A and B are shown apart, each in its own frame.
Chain A
Amino acid sequence: MKSTMRDTFLTRLLQKMREDDDIVLLSADFGAPVIDEIRTEFPDRFFNTGIAEQNLINLATGFALEGYRVVAYAIAPFITMRCFEQIRVNLAILSQLRPMNVTLVGVGAGFSYDVSGPTHHCIEDLTIMSTLPNVAVYSPSDHTQAPLLADHCLNKPGVKYLRFDAKPHLPVADNDSVETLTAGFRVLQSGKEVALVCTGYMTHVAHSLLPELAIRGLSPTLIDLVAYNSADGQALQSVLGNCKRIFLIQEALVSAGAQTLLSGLGHTQRLEVIAARPHYSFEIGSRDAIHEACGLGRQHILDTILGNF
């Protein structure tokens, strides 16, 4: 049966709010039928911030600092990009020092608000949210994953961003299980030589192309990547280890920086990146000292160059 991630997630959230009184839902004036149920049943734990995403994040921060588990809900491009600096300062940085449990839910992944144009298309979020240390990004493909993510995120301390498709879909496979969230991905088809690593709606698209590929003699491994920036690397490697070619298929931009530039020039295999590690530095010290702490120290650069020479 077709359903939206939004509806299955919120239905599970409503159940959890009935069980636990430390959960609050904040919405930037963005609704859903289940939201109407929640705000009727829990008028003291649902707050409409108005069309004000920056304040949505700041309010979520305040609630989280007071020990509440917070779900903040808005349209995907707005809850990530309108308030990116609020997320960076008050959630990504602060959560490194103070215990916080905040789940950001953005509806409208990729081009799912298709006819609404580029303001509502959300193609930068996966990259920019993944640049933030201390933020786990989830990009589910099915509405069956959404209620699992509700439990997973409410139980997982820290800051999470859930990227939900806006449209109802049939599940791409049988109902998903919590094992997917443990590993951060699921294998929808095991194949040889070629792997398609897909996330969100593109998992559906790639899945629909399997028959055509099969006619041409190709049976790729099909991976549905859910924990976009935190999937179990070793588990993923065990699946991808023997593949000669890996295709990453996502309804989003890739980072447009120098790494992408060099990769596009065919240097992926030869490219070794030395960059700041994903961690905020609170240590007081010189620039050199900060470099040492974040993986940019002179000796480390020297060792990396010589070690790969």
Chain B
Amino acid sequence: MSTSSLPPTPQARTAWLAEKSCWVREQTLKIHRHAPETRVASSLSVIELLTTLYYGEIAQCFPQSPLHPERDRIIISKGHGSICLYPILADLGFFPIAALDTVCKPGSFLGGIPDPIIPGYETINGSLGHGLGVATGISLALRTARKPQRAFVLLGDGELNEGAVWEAAMFAGHHKLDKLIAMVDCNGRSMLGYTKDILDLNPLETKFEAFGWEPYVVRDGHDIAQLQAGFETLLTSSSAKPKVLIAHTLKGKGVPSLESSPLAHVMGVPSSEIDTLLSNGGAA
């Protein structure tokens, strides 16, 4: 399936994207089953968001020509937590779907943390706090070159502890980079526990507003319709501001043992549990 498979009516599109998300979740768990080194919990929280971004005609991409000049730039700043992007990119045709079986295996190009040797990845991942600044530079460069493309950047909420994120937020707001779209996966948990107990980010929406951004809060980041509405609002906004989609999500979504643990980030899912989840029709 590809974006061309999207049904014509809005309701059917939403249902189609929800179904696609289920497939991505299954594939992500299968990857984790044979590559337990992957950070699965933070990958499970962004599945609906990335599915909507890539399949929902939000971002323009060219699977056969990943660095096509007319592509929207998609920067993945929370690299560890984007293993779910592997099945999406493979499904769209960035690389063969068979490669999904090779994650973390010797000779593969698909590692535990994605790097731009993977078609579809723009920048280095694995060190947090860099993506927003790089995306800001890309967005400013695109504007300087009078190019219309957007720069999307996916951030984790724990990553927002990094000071460099706010250097970039300040700069992007000041320069009114209206084609810069940040997406924050607010799954509420960092490595050692809940973000509210480590460094409380709230009120996050107000923080971004104060930095000159237009925020949109998605109350349920696993609800496709809400995500679609959020992107629609931000992409059609005429405000001369950078945009931020703050999506409240559940870390480890679909896997009960992860959903309930404050330490989900460092937890794996045993093969037997994955088998059970998959045999029950997939993790919802």
The one of A44, A62, A283 that contacts B137, using a Cβ cutoff of 8 Å: A62
**Which residues in window 86-129 of A have CB below 8 A to B?**
86, 89-90, 93-94, 97-98
With contact pairs A61-B134, A66-B141 given, residues A55 and B116 touching in the complex (Cβ less than 8 Å): no
- Flag if B123 contacts A94 (CB, 8 Å): yes
Interface string of B134-154 (1 = CB under 8 A from A): 111111111011000000000
B106 within 8 A of A: yes
Closest to A97 in B: B116
Report the minimal beta-carbon distance from A150 to chain B, rounded to whole angstroms. Answer: 21
Tell me the bound Cα distance from A273 to B108 in angstroms: 31
Please give the number of chain A residues whose Cβ is less than 8 angstroms from any Cβ of chain B in the complex: 34
Report the minimal beta-carbon distance from B157 to chain A, rounded to whole angstroms. Answer: 19
Interface string of B161-177 (1 = CB under 8 A from A): 00110011011000100
**Which residues in window 248-291 of A have CB below 8 A to B?**
282-286, 289
- Chain B contacts for A66, CB-based, 8 A: 138, 141-142, 145
Interface string of B84-110 (1 = CB under 8 A from A): 000000000000000000001111111
Tell me the bound Cα distance from A177 to B138 in angstroms: 36
B115 within 8 A of A: yes
The one of B108, B109, B117, B130 that contacts A89, using a Cβ cutoff of 8 Å: B130
B215 within 8 A of A: no
- Flag if A54 contacts B163 (CB, 8 Å): yes
Tell me the bound Cα distance from A89 to B108 in angstroms: 22
The one of A52, A65, A93 that contacts B138, using a Cβ cutoff of 8 Å: A65
The one of B116, B139, B170 that contacts A62, using a Cβ cutoff of 8 Å: B139
Closest to B108 in A: A284
B53 within 8 A of A: no
- Chain A contacts for B117, CB-based, 8 A: 97, 282
- Chain A contacts for B140, CB-based, 8 A: 47, 59, 62-63
B257 within 8 A of A: no
- Flag if A58 contacts B130 (CB, 8 Å): yes
Report the minimal beta-carbon distance from A110 to chain B, rounded to whole angstroms. Answer: 28
Closest to A26 in B: B137
- Chain A contacts for B108, CB-based, 8 A: 284
Closest to A57 in B: B133
Closest to B106 in A: A285
B124 within 8 A of A: yes
B259 within 8 A of A: no
Tell me the bound Cα distance from A302 to B140 in angstroms: 52
- Chain A contacts for B135, CB-based, 8 A: 62
- Flag if B124 contacts A59 (CB, 8 Å): no
With contact pairs A90-B134, A97-B116 given, residues A58 and B107 touching in the complex (Cβ less than 8 Å): no
With contact pairs A24-B144, A58-B137, A284-B111 given, residues A50 and B122 touching in the complex (Cβ less than 8 Å): no
The one of B109, B123, B134, B138 that contacts A284, using a Cβ cutoff of 8 Å: B109
CB<8 Å pairs between A and B, sample of 8: A54-B133, A55-B136, A58-B130, A62-B134, A62-B137, A65-B138, A89-B130, A285-B107
- Report A's interface with B, CB cutoff 8 A: 24, 44-45, 47, 49-50, 52, 54-55, 57-63, 65-68, 85-86, 89-90, 93-94, 97-98, 282-286, 289
Closest 5 CB pairs of A and B: A62-B137, A58-B133, A66-B141, A59-B137, A55-B167
A66-B138, A94-B116, A94-B124 provided; 10 other pairs, C-beta below 8 A? Answer: A50-B171, A54-B164, A58-B130, A61-B137, A65-B122, A65-B134, A86-B133, A90-B130, A284-B110, A285-B107
